[in-house]
A and B are shown apart, each in its own frame.
Chain A
Amino acid sequence: MLKVEHLTKQYRNVVAVDDISFTLNKGDIVGLLGPNGAGKSTTIKTIVGLLRKTAGVITIDNYPNTSLEAKKRFTYVPEAPELYDMLTVWEHLQFIGYAYDVANFEEKAERLIERYDLWDKRDILSKELSKGMKQKVSICCALLPEPDLYLFDEPMIGLDPKSIRETKLIFKELSEQQKTVLVSTHLLDSIENLCQRVLVMKNGKIIVDMAMEEMKRELGNSENVSLEDLFLEVTKDE
């Protein structure tokens, strides 16, 4: 589904992403983890096409990531959602519905805004929404086109507990539907039981690319080993 080969992203003298490669297959739910400044957001933004790659190849279903064909196959939730100030919640969904040519978008959009408790906010301008509400709208916009690949950058920040639970449920449903999800987050416990695989980044490089089970096995296979323990173990400074 998503193939990243030798991706490098450099800003002037700073190498934010350093020659990373990974592949995501259909149905994969993969956590992209790493300390602050590891290069997670840069990686996702480069896949989305917001940033230009310095080197490497990114393909989505064998299409170059910036092509229109590739863009039809993925959606993106940014870490700090910025919406159109002067559009209502419902108009955002309408806009996405038109942009991605979503069939029966009204029915799907209504279901989504009900799931995220946005029904009574559907006619409110986005500039009047709180940060958490904007995040919910952003997630709804990403879910509406039902693409094959979802790129989430810190999707749970600012969400209330009910919405976090709803998002986790949605991740599970996406996995059952054989959709692919790449989710970057610091809330490790929230994805612990969702991800089948984790990519851990540090200083622009992928230092771990393993299935969760395999990772647990390598670290003693104890029942008490949590994703947080694993993360702290692999990212600790030498």
Chain B
Amino acid sequence: MNEFKLLAKRDGWTIVNHFLEIRYNPKRLVIYLLYLIWIGSLCFNAVLRFRNPGEIQLQLGPQILGAGFLGLGAALVLYFLYRGTMESATFFTMGDVHLLFPAPVSPKKVLLYSMVKQSLLYFLLYGFVILAFIPMITNIARVNLQYLPFMYLGFIGLVLVIGPLNFLVFAVGSKYGIQLRLQQGIIALIIIFILYLVGNIIASGMLLQGLLQGLNASFLDYLPVIGWSRVVFMTAVTGYSTYSAFALGLQLLFLICCIVISYNTADDYYEDTLNATEQRSLRKKRKAGVEKAHSISVTFNKRKNIIVKKVGTGPWAFLWRSKVEYSRSDLHPFMGVWTIVFLLAGIVVGYFVARQRGGIIPVYITNGVIAYIIFIFSAANAGQHELAKPYIYLIPGSNLLKIINSNLTGILRMGINIAALNIPLGVLLHAPIRVIVIMVIFDVSFYTLNLGSNFLIRVIFPSALDQKALYPLFLMLQILLLLLPGIIVGGIMGFVFQEVLMAFVGVAVVNIIIIGVLLLLSNVVFARLEWK
């Protein structure tokens, strides 16, 4: 059978089975329905705002959007180019590795088919992503709906190029033995880009203005891939010009060239894609709750023997284990690369804010945003890694101590990171020490809140599918039950004492009370926990 026909047949069966699965398992429809409602509500909100554009939309909006797109696009492309010097992209599944790769099917044709298939799939799927982003975009700038397809094509043009470009860099690098040279070239590009931005910031004397000026420079529109896709994307905001269509054509041509060159270069690429394919398969299994997630993100992998003193028996073993893991994977059990990032962020934000207007309001804003991010992100996966392993169910000891010990190092690390941000920020903005202390407690209380509440979620919805399907519902429930009491009490305290800091104190106190209640419930919760 013709190779392309064979692969198309396989994908045809897969598509049919997806539809059949929905019929046999209508629960999946709940997932799609909830997400559609969520996106729909965001779009509805966007339409309301679209009718009443704010001041920022009319003045700085296009600049912010253009700069944001180019900045993120450049970061994405440079990151994947760099990664391409070490690891190939993949267009395959483990099923392909075990069934298709050993079969008498031309590897070149397999690659060409898979690349084109992924491009088409992304072309359709990322429509939902841009749909989810449209509310945010319309909040920033006025969008001409007539040119909305250009906005999508600009975005998708960037997304589609990344995989083939990454694959090509790896294929060329390994085929001609020039990986190191390519790596050096890409690092040089990254340095030039950063220096260019720093130069603009210094020249303008202001962080935001410098970044906006630098990233909106018109010559960047001629940069391959990033510049072209920005021009196409911004057509919906700045209006149509001949260059919009030309840039779109160039982007398409670039994608075709990447695929054609990859096709001609790749004779023996199976091994190159193995690692990335395995990783992709593992991520998929983790999402489905089949594989156990990593307990921590690995920055380093120090193979040397890690010596951590015994901290106790029973549940205390969890504390020892997490200290060993962090010691091996990061700079220190309680400090890591993120501590440096937070510290630098505190210094940079503090320095520029102090130069412009000063005051401690930016301290409150920064910590409010951080608390929100912590809440949203830790809601998704907090505690899952420990619950996915059998030890928390098997090791004898108090359930309360098990929860505390398995989370203590993470909480301490979060506290240190937040302190690393707030100390320079507070010092540069002349904030009193009590403000800094309260901010640290405030942010950490949000982190801890989710660690506790996720044990409860696991009891209420033990199935991974339920958890996935009802994630938006969890989030709403968590906001109602965990976030709202704090906000109400904080609001009242802020109003009564006429001080913003007291609002933060109120929220932190309520969070701590809820954490206490959740910990006291640990025995009830543990009795109902199941290892999946």
Q: Which residues of A contact B (CB under 8 A)?
A: 48-52, 66, 68-69, 71-72, 74-76, 78, 81-88, 91-92, 94-96, 98-101, 125-126, 138, 141
Q: Is B93 at the interface (CB under 8 A from chain A)?
A: yes
Q: Is B102 at the interface (CB under 8 A from chain A)?
A: yes
Known: A81-B98, A87-B17. 11 other contacts (CB 8 A): A49-B101, A52-B268, A52-B271, A72-B104, A86-B14, A86-B21, A88-B13, A88-B17, A91-B10, A98-B6, A99-B1
Interface of B (DSSP majority class): helix
Q: Is the CB of B281 within 8 A of A82?
A: yes
Q: Which residues of B contact A78 (CB under 8 A)?
A: 98
Q: Which residues of A contact B101 (CB under 8 A)?
A: 48-50
The interface bits of chain B over 184-228 (1 if a CB of A lies within 8 angstroms of the residue's CB, else 0) are 000000000000000000000000000000000000000000000
Q: Is the CB of A86 within 8 A of B103?
A: no
Q: Is the CB of A100 within 8 A of B14?
A: no
Q: Which residues of B contact A48 (CB under 8 A)?
A: 101-102
Q: Is the CB of A87 within 8 A of B98?
A: no
Which residue from B97, B103, B105 sits with its C-beta under 8 Å from A82?
B97
A66-B268, A101-B1 known; A86-B102 Cβ under 8 A: no
A85-B95, A87-B13, A87-B14 known; A50-B21 Cβ under 8 A: no
Q: Is B387 at the interface (CB under 8 A from chain A)?
A: no
Q: Is the CB of A99 within 8 A of B104?
A: yes
Q: Is the CB of B99 within 8 A of A84?
A: yes
Q: Which residues of A contact B103 (CB under 8 A)?
A: 71, 96, 99-100
The answer for the CA separation of A141 and B281 in the assembled complex, in Å, is 21
Question: B100: shortest Cβ distance to chain A, in Å?
Answer: 7
Q: Is B400 at the interface (CB under 8 A from chain A)?
A: no
Q: Which residues of B contact A83 (CB under 8 A)?
A: 95, 98-99
Interface of A (DSSP majority class): mixed
Q: Is the CB of A125 within 8 A of B21?
A: yes
Q: Is the CB of A100 within 8 A of B104?
A: yes
Question: A224: shortest Cβ distance to chain B, in Å?
Answer: 40
The answer for the CA separation of A95 and B18 in the assembled complex, in Å, is 17
Q: Is the CB of A84 within 8 A of B95?
A: yes
Q: Which residues of A contact B18 (CB under 8 A)?
A: 86
Q: Is B9 at the interface (CB under 8 A from chain A)?
A: yes
The answer for the CA separation of A27 and B498 in the assembled complex, in Å, is 90
Q: Is B106 at the interface (CB under 8 A from chain A)?
A: yes
Question: B213: shortest Cβ distance to chain A, in Å?
Answer: 45
Q: Which residues of A contact B21 (CB under 8 A)?
A: 86, 125
Question: B102: shortest Cβ distance to chain A, in Å?
Answer: 5
Q: Which residues of A contact B106 (CB under 8 A)?
A: 68
Q: Which residues of A contact B13 (CB under 8 A)?
A: 86-88, 91, 94-95
Q: Is B116 at the interface (CB under 8 A from chain A)?
A: no
Total inter-chain residue pairs, C-beta < 8 Å = 91
Which residue from A66, A76, A98 sits with its C-beta under 8 Å from B9?
A98
Q: Which residues of B contact A72 (CB under 8 A)?
A: 104
Question: A105: shortest Cβ distance to chain B, in Å?
Answer: 11
Question: A203: shortest Cβ distance to chain B, in Å?
Answer: 19
Q: Is the CB of B100 within 8 A of A99?
A: yes
The answer for the CA separation of A98 and B12 in the assembled complex, in Å, is 14
Q: Is B270 at the interface (CB under 8 A from chain A)?
A: yes
A82-B97, A100-B104, A101-B1 known; A49-B6 Cβ under 8 A: no
Q: Is the CB of A99 within 8 A of B105?
A: yes
Q: Which residues of B contact A94 (CB under 8 A)?
A: 13
Q: Is B475 at the interface (CB under 8 A from chain A)?
A: no
Q: Is B39 at the interface (CB under 8 A from chain A)?
A: no
Q: Is B317 at the interface (CB under 8 A from chain A)?
A: no
Q: Which residues of B contact A74 (CB under 8 A)?
A: 102
Q: Which residues of B contact A75 (CB under 8 A)?
A: 102
The answer for the CA separation of A69 and B83 in the assembled complex, in Å, is 35
The interface bits of chain B over 120-140 (1 if a CB of A lies within 8 angstroms of the residue's CB, else 0) are 000000000000000000000
Which residue from B1, B17, B95, B271 sits with its C-beta under 8 Å from A51?
B271
The answer for the CA separation of A82 and B203 in the assembled complex, in Å, is 56
The answer for the CA separation of A78 and B274 in the assembled complex, in Å, is 14
Which partner residue on chain A sits nearest B278 by CB separation?
A: A82
Q: Is the CB of B95 within 8 A of A76?
A: no
Question: A9: shortest Cβ distance to chain B, in Å?
Answer: 10
Q: Is the CB of A86 within 8 A of B17?
A: yes
The answer for the CA separation of A83 and B106 in the assembled complex, in Å, is 20
Most-contacted residue by chain B among A69, A75, A87 (CB, 10 A): A87
The answer for the CA separation of A98 and B105 in the assembled complex, in Å, is 11
Q: Which residues of B contact A141 (CB under 8 A)?
A: 99
The answer for the CA separation of A93 and B190 in the assembled complex, in Å, is 49
The answer for the CA separation of A78 and B6 in the assembled complex, in Å, is 22
Q: Is B94 at the interface (CB under 8 A from chain A)?
A: yes
Q: Is the CB of A96 within 8 A of B17?
A: no
In order of increasing CB-CB distance, the 10 nearest A-B pairs are A82-B94, A84-B95, A71-B104, A99-B103, A86-B14, A72-B104, A98-B1, A76-B102, A86-B17, A52-B271
A-B contact pairs, 11 of them (CB 8 A): A50-B271, A76-B98, A82-B94, A82-B95, A84-B14, A87-B13, A87-B95, A94-B13, A95-B99, A98-B9, A101-B1
Q: Which residues of A contact B271 (CB under 8 A)?
A: 50-52
Which residue from B1, B10, B105 sits with its C-beta under 8 Å from A87?
B10
